[in-house]
């Protein structure tokens, strides 16, 4: 029995399966566990937030949120997805009016399949402190794919610094 077990272990251990996920260089899963937990909480909370986009919109030519899809083909948005944006209750007025959002404010850009309405991914950002946003991507199953001070996200949103780092598509 013991040798059978060892034999099985050896058989499995000798050739590890190829990785099925693509880990991007800027991914920060291990060191940002608290941010990953917060991201998952926010996805739950976002079900009760206000939708600020009047109509669903199609893939943006600008928002290349890398890390959205963590399996081949690695891409930014899935073909055919549509988007809606939701804002936490404390920040809806400021988001709409162009004002500065309060610390603690959170925003979810939800991708969904327009045929079924099913969510395909969440892009989150929440305000930790003045001028300090944390970014995350969460899968449709609620798994935090990436969370933290994601530099690729900030690469675009930092250009909106004068607008509290937001694009405010409504």
Positions in the binding site for ligand HEC (CB under 6 A): 60, 62-65, 67, 83, 85, 107, 109, 123-125, 135-137, 150, 152-153, 155-157, 166-169
Smallest CA-to-CA distance from 21 within 58, 70, 54, 80 is with 70
Give the span between the Cα atoms of 149 and 28, in whole angstroms: 9
The 8 Å CB, 24+ separation contacts for 126-132 are: 126/38, 126/42, 127/101, 127/102, 127/103, 128/103, 129/103, 130/103, 131/161, 131/165
- Smaller CB separation from ligand HEC, 9 or 96: 96
| Least gap, CB of 118 to ligand HEC (angstroms) | 19
**Which is closer to ligand HEC, CB of 9 or CB of 21?**
21
In the complex, the smallest distance separating the C-beta of residue 19 from ligand HEC, rounded to whole angstroms, is: 21
Q: Provide the minimum distance between the beta carbon of 121 and ligand HEC in the complex, in angstroms, as a whole number.
A: 10
- Cβ distance to ligand HEC smaller for residue 35 or 67: 67
- Cβ at position 145, least distance to ligand HEC in Å: 9
Compute the distance between CA of residue 140 and CA of residue 122 in angstroms, rounded to an integer.
7
Assess contact for 123 and 65: CB atoms under 8 A.
yes
Smaller CB separation from ligand HEC, 9 or 131 = 131
- Encoding tokens for residue 139? 């899968």
- Burial class, 68, CB count within 10 angstroms (exposed 0-12 / middle 13-18 / buried 19+): buried
> Shortest Cβ distance from residue 87 to ligand HEC (Å)?
8
Do residues 85 and 109 touch, judged by C-beta distance below 8 A? Answer: yes
């Amino acid at each position: 029995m013991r040798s059978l077990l060892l034999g099985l272990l050896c058989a499995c251990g000798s050739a590890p399966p190829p990785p099925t996920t693509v880990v991007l260089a800027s991914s920060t899963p291990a060191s940002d566990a608290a941010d990953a937990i917060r991201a998952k909480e926010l996805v739950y909370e976002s079900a009760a937030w206000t939708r600020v986009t009047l109509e669903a919109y199609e893939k943006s030519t600008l928002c290349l949120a890398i890390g959205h899809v963590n399996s081949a083909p690695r891409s930014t948005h899935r073909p055919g997805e549509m988007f809606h944006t939701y804002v936490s209750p404390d920040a809806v007025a400021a988001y709409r009016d162009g004002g500065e959002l309060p610390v603690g404010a959170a925003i979810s850009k939800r991708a969904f399949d327009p045929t079924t309405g099913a969510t395909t991914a969440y892009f989150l950002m929440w305000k930790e402190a003045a001028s300090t946003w944390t970014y995350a991507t969460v899968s449709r199953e609620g798994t935090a794919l990436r969370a933290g001070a994601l530099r690729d996200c900030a690469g675009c949103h930092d250009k909106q610094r004068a607008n509290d780092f937001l694009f405010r598509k409504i």
